[in-house]
Amino acid sequence: MPDPLLVIARDGEHEIEIQRSRFLCRLVRVPDTEAAAAVIADVRREHWSATHNCTAFRVGRAGEVQRSSDDGEPAGTAGVPMLEVLLRRELTDVVAVVTRYFGGVKLGAGGLVRAYGRAVSETVDVVGVLRRVRHTRFLLAVPHADAGRLENALRAAGYPVADVAYGRDVEITATAAEPEGFHAWLAAQTGGSVEAVEVGEVDVEV
CATH code, 131-205: 3.30.70.240
- Is residue 2 pLDDT above 70, yes or no? no
Confidence tier at 4 by pLDDT (50, 70, 90): low
* pTM check: above 0.85: no
Domain 6-127 has what CATH class? Answer: alpha beta
Asked whether 140 and 171 are in contact (CB, 8 A), the reply is yes
Distance between alpha carbon 49 and the CA centroid of its chain, in Å?
30
135-188 tens-digit pLDDT: 999 999 999 999 999 999 999 999 999 999 999 999 999 999 999 999 999 999
pLDDT at residue number 20: 95
Residues of the chain by 3-state class (helix, strand, coil), percent to 5: 35, 40, 30
Mean pLDDT of 51-72: 96
Q: What is the pLDDT of residues 88-115, one digit of tens each?
A: 999 999 999 999 999 999 999 999 999 9
Q: Among residues 22, 43, 119, 125, which one has the least CA distance to residue 77?
A: 119
Per-residue burial over 49-76, b = 16 or more CB atoms within 10 Å of its CB, e = otherwise: ebbbbbbbbbbeeebeeebbbbbebeee
Contact 164, 106 (CB under 8 A): no
Alpha carbons 115 and 23: distance in angstroms, whole number: 8
Q: What is the pLDDT of residue 1?
A: 42
Give the domain ranges of the chain: 6-127, 131-205
Taking the alpha carbons at both ends of the chain, their separation in whole angstroms is: 19
pLDDT mean over 22-43: 98
Q: Which residue has the higher pLDDT, 206 or 54?
A: 54
Over residues 111-142, the pLDDT tens digits come to 999 999 999 999 999 999 999 888 999 999 99
Q: Does residue 17 register a pLDDT over 70? A: yes
